[in-house]
Amino acid sequence: MNTNSHISELSIVAKALMAPGKGILAADESDATIQKRFESVNLESNPASRIAYREMLFTAPGAENYISGAILFDETIRQSASSGESFVKILEQKGILPGIKVDMGTEPFGASGEKLTRGLDGLEERVKGYVALGAKFAKWRAVFGIGGGLPTDECVKGNASRLARYAKICQMAGLVPIVEPEVLMDGSHTQQNCEAVTERVLTEVFAQLKQQEVDLTGILLKPNMVVSGSECPEQANSGEVAEATLRVFLKTVPPEVPGIVFLSGGQSPAEATANLNEMNKNGHLPWPLSFSYGRALQAPALQAWAGKPENVTSAQAAFLRRAELNSLARAGTYLPEMENSESGALNLTSQD
Ligand code: 5MM
């Protein structure tokens, strides 16, 4: 395939991931992370329990009405459901695009506890393998902590440079790269601190993407929202989060980027939905704003499931409900009252 056909294919996939009313399910928890999540419901993490959990999510009836793509972990993209069908096939049959996390976690950087994301070694070969397995897009996450003078310029530059290199490698192989620079919520910093750091990080990320000649029409950005640190005594409300987040993005994110898909980062499911809704109520923006949540889509479903086959239906209902509410938030038509009803859309209809 030549470069031009790759470029138009990338932009078709990026647009499909940003389809109106839909967002991305981040289900790419590494072994350590899924183990932590399962511990919260007293469940052992092993290949069988991980298959059962992901099968519950991916086969939820009608998920494709709200979910355009699912990000998988290396193990998951090679696994099959109890029916014998591969997860990739199950997703494809529903019209959900399979994606893959290609970073290999983090390595320490400097003496202050900062981290650089690793995984560039052999990435070209790995990416070819994922394309052969059916992946249409990829994800690489860099993390930046705030506090005590962090993040350093060196860490911001190092992570931004690796994000850009990853993005270029993916595009050359025909995968849409999701570029995920996450400014962490952990700590007592103020929302203003988060705004300043997010602006620094995004400015450097787009400088590196430009320098390394990444086609911005064939990426998606997966950023944090501009929120207060989780330990900050003063917590910004949804209106303040939306205002500060959009202020930063309008300064730093070029209009040709086909979409922004937020991470939830430790916000509660309802907060993540309300904040996205608030931003989408703001009217015309250069890029569509959607979700690529992990915890904010999955947490209620995991609690409802807890590893028990008899809970699959209620767990799927919990997952679908979050997906539906976030779908409404894409249009700015979510209402907090919907949190207390069975179905956001039905609630709306019954009020009409
Ligand atoms: C689903 O979790 C993803 C994988 O995390 P690890 O590599 O640490 O296991 C994670 O990258 C996730 O996609 C993003 O953090 C967004 O998830 P949240 O839960 O913050 O929306």
- What does the pLDDT average to over 54-74? 98
Cβ neighbours for 199, distance < 8 A, ≥ 6 positions apart: 248, 251, 252
Atom of ligand 1 nearest to the CA of 293: 21
Cβ neighbours for 182, distance < 8 A, ≥ 6 positions apart: 141, 142, 143, 144, 222, 223, 224, 263, 265
- Please state which of the ranges 4-13, 150-159, 311-320 shows the lowest mean pLDDT: 4-13
Phi, psi of 333 (to 5 degrees): -110, 15
Atom of ligand 1 nearest to the CA of 295: 19
**Is 251 among the catalytic positions?**
no
Domain count, the chain: 1
pLDDT in tens, 327-342: 999 999 999 999 998 7
Scan for tokens 């991980």, then name that residue: 50
CB of 100 shorter than 6 A to ligand 1: no
Which residues lie across from 116 on neighbouring strands?
107
Confidence tier at 343 by pLDDT (50, 70, 90): low
CB of 265 shorter than 6 A to ligand 1: yes
pLDDT given at position 349: 38
Rounded to an integer, what distance in angstroms lies between the CA atom of residue 186 and that of residue 177?
A: 26
Average pLDDT score, the chain: 95
pLDDT in tens, 8-61: 899 999 999 999 999 999 999 999 999 999 999 999 999 999 999 999 999 999
Alpha carbon nearest to ligand 1 atom 13, residue = 26
Residue 151: is the preceding peptide bond cis (ω within 30°)?
yes
Rounded to an integer, what distance in angstroms lies between the CA atom of residue 207 and that of residue 341?
A: 45
Range of the structural domain that residue 112 is part of:
3-351
**Is 55 among the catalytic positions?**
no
CA 80 to chain centre: 23
pLDDT in tens, 242-257: 999 999 999 999 999 9
- What does the pLDDT average to over 261-271? 98
- Please state which of the ranges 84-88, 119-123, 301-305, 348-352 shows the lowest mean pLDDT: 348-352
CATH number at residue 167: 3.20.20.70
pLDDT given at position 347: 43
State what percent of residues in the chain have pLDDT above 90.
93
- What does the pLDDT average to over 214-224? 98
Write down the catalytic residue from 180, 195, 199, 278: 180
CB of 293 shorter than 6 A to ligand 1: yes
pLDDT exceeds 60 at position 167 = yes
In the chain, how many H helices and how many E strands?
13, 10
> Measured in angstroms, how far is the CA atom of residue 292 from the centroid of ligand 1?
9
